[in-house]
Structures are given as C-alpha cells and as structure tokens.
Amino acid sequence: MSATTQPIKPKIDRSQIMEALIPVLAVITALIAGAIIIMVSQLISANLATGFKGVSSASTKTPWQTLISAYVGLFQGAFGSPRAISETLIATTPYILTGLAVAVGFRGGLFNIGAEGQYYVGSICAVFVGYSFKGLPPFLHITLSMLAGIVGGGLFAAIPGYLKARFGTHEVINTIMLNYIGVKTIDWLVRGPLRDPKASLDQTYYILDSAKLPKLLPWTDLRVHIGIVIALVMVFVINWLLFKTTLGYELRTVGSNPSVARYAGMSVARNFVVTMIISGGLAGMAGAVQQLGMNYTLKAVFATGYGFDSIAVALLAKSNPFGIIPAALLWGALRNGASLMQVRSNMSIDLINIVQALVIMFVAADQMIRWLYHIKTARDTKVVFTRGWGGG
C-alpha cells in the first residue's frame, strides 16, 4: 500500500510580513500624530480667539470636527472623484520615476540628492527636442524627446559618479552643488537663449503637438496621460535590471560591500558611474514626462520639489522598486488632496508638509515603530542605503 504524498505548503514567514508592515505602520502613526497636531492647534486657535475663556461661538468647529473635515477633505481631494483620481495620478507619475532614481542609487550604495537638478536637465532637453523638429511622426518625436531627457539627466548625474569613482569625493556634496548649477544654468537658458520672444513670461517655446504625450483616456476631459503607464513599466524594468541581470547583481554587490565586489573582480569605479547614470536617467525621464505630458513648455524659476521628495519616497519603499508605487501614490495623494483639505478645515496647507515630515521621521527611525508596535528585527531584511560618509 503506497503512502499518499501531501504537497508541501510553503511556510509563511511572519517576521517578513511584519517587516513589510513597518512602512504602513509608519504612515498610520504619522497620520495619528498629524491628527493630534490638528486638534491641538485648533484648540489653541479657538482659545486665543476667546481670550482662553473657552470656545463660545457656535460657528466655531470643535477640534474633532476640524480633524474629520481635514482628513475627509484630504481623501476626497485625492480620490473623491474621477477628476481627483486623475490629478493624483498626474502628481504620482514623477514621484514614481524620481523615487526609482533615488532607490537605484541606494541599491548601488550611493546617496543621489541631485535628482532635482537631473529632473531640470531632463526637462530642458526634452522640451528643446520637443519644439525643435517639425514634421516628425508623433511616435518618433515623443521617443526622441524622451531619450533627450533620459540622456540629459544621465550625463548630468555621471559627473558626480565619475568624481566619486576617480577621486573618492562624496556624492552627497557633489549632487547638492550640481543641483544649484543645473537649476541656475537652466534658468539662464530659459530667460536668454531659449526664451520664446512672443511669450509674456520667461519661458521656452511650446513643444509641437507631435511631441505631446497622448492622454490616457482621450474620450474624457481628464488630464491624466500615458506618462503613468511609462512610469509603471519602468518599475518592472528596474526590478528586472536589479534582480535578474548580471549588471544589477554587480550594482547591488558594490552597494552592499565594495571590498567583496572588488575581490570578486567587479569594477567598483565603473559601477559607481553606471549607478549614477541610471539614477540620473530616471530623474531626467521624470522631467521629460512631466513637460511632454502636462506643461508643454518650461518656465523660468519653476519649482517642483520632486527631486527632494523622491528621497522620502525611496526611503518609504525601502528601495524596493514595487514598493515605490504605493509610496509615490501616497505622496501624490498628499500633494493633490492638500488644497481641499485646507478649504474644508481652514487649516494651513503646511500641515501636509508636517505629515510628510512625520512619515519620513517614523520610516527613518524604524526602531521607534518596532518599539511602539512590539516588532522584533528580522534577519536578512536590512537594505543598505549608503555606506557612510566617504565610504569607498
């Protein structure tokens, strides 16, 4: 009599599940802390209005009412209608690409703080190609404009990568300084050589129709464009690159332990440069997508903050390409829902920045989250972001 064999069920690693929940718990904790700040600030404001004699006006909202109005307004502003969802996806798109840019740098052991400057360079390159070549078919014109943004951002990021590889200078200093160089140079170009003389504001020419990214839902009046599809595709591409290719294996090995990588025959210097080129190319792609899909021109002194917020997105995702999607969606929702939140609760829009800062704080100080929710540290879950100041 033969014994029947039962299929072996894979064991669910509870510790890994809890590790994956830490960013979620960090966001929840930040929202709770934000709620406390809202209620306290509202209570103080109400008492200041009455000389600390209590809230006597019937028209004044209670702290609880203000809190509910704020968070309901935030949610409705981000997801409360098809138009709100469309605008949230528009805000999410550059966060996905710039978040991937910083995450690739982290995986390679480099801290790329220059995504903002690389975003600007990619933007100007894409816009220049977008308005310069007439008569091209849309697919070719869009492709060339996108490639211009990718190449521009990648080459700009290659500078700190080469300086790191050749001279050992720290990429944090170089990328911060190059942010200023990139932004000021592009501002000069937009005000000078590349300025549209017929425009009332300092801006470039508008890109041609053949270079504009098509709308995702052209039969509606929603503004969301195929840039969100491009961003999601890049998530899969970067995940494949990092975890399914020899190049990705080398980048991750150099990022975690350059001494072991060097002993194994890998070129640490080359991988530093390649990591920064890929990272900068993604940031440049974010700029290209935003200009070709939304703005259609580049204005002087335009401020985005995408390059700096992307650091928080990558941290929240723990440099996991697929984790970038929900992290970027959160940031896009906070950005898009902030206006309605302000209107509904009569609170300062700066509160969103406070919530974002709290998210970063709780994600970075994950031991605090572990202590609050009694989560033990799991083995083999640590992601190396950087190897420290001046690390080799």
Identify whether 270 is part of a domain: yes
The average pLDDT across 165-176 equals: 92
Range with the poorest average pLDDT among 47-51, 53-57, 123-127, 160-164 = 53-57
**How much is the pLDDT for 58?**
45
Instruction: Report d(CA 323, CA 191) in Å as an integer.
Output: 39
Q: Please check whether residue 265 lies inside any domain of the structure.
A: yes
pLDDT at residue 388, as a whole number: 43
Tell whether 360 is covered by a domain. no
Rounded alpha-carbon distances, angstroms, from residue 361 to 29, 44, 106, 182, 357: 10, 25, 18, 29, 6
Three-state DSSP at 138 gives helix
Contacts by residues 190-197 (CB-CB < 8 Å, ≥ 24 positions apart):
190/124, 190/298, 190/299, 190/300, 191/300, 194/124, 194/128, 196/297
Mean pLDDT computed over every residue of the chain: 86
- The count of structural domains within the chain is 1
- Confidence band (pLDDT; 50, 70, 90) for 283? very high
Domain that holds residue 165: 96-321
In a domain, 298, yes or no: yes
**From CA 152, how far away is CA 96, in angstroms rounded?**
19
pTM of the model: 0.88
Q: Is residue 385 part of a domain?
A: no
Residue 118 lies in a domain: yes
Whether 123 is covered by a domain: the verdict is yes
**Looking at the domain assignment, is residue 164 inside a domain?**
yes
pLDDT of residue 199: 87
What pLDDT score was predicted for residue 94?
95
Band (pLDDT 50/70/90 cuts) for residue 279 is very high
7 versus 66: the higher-pLDDT residue is 66
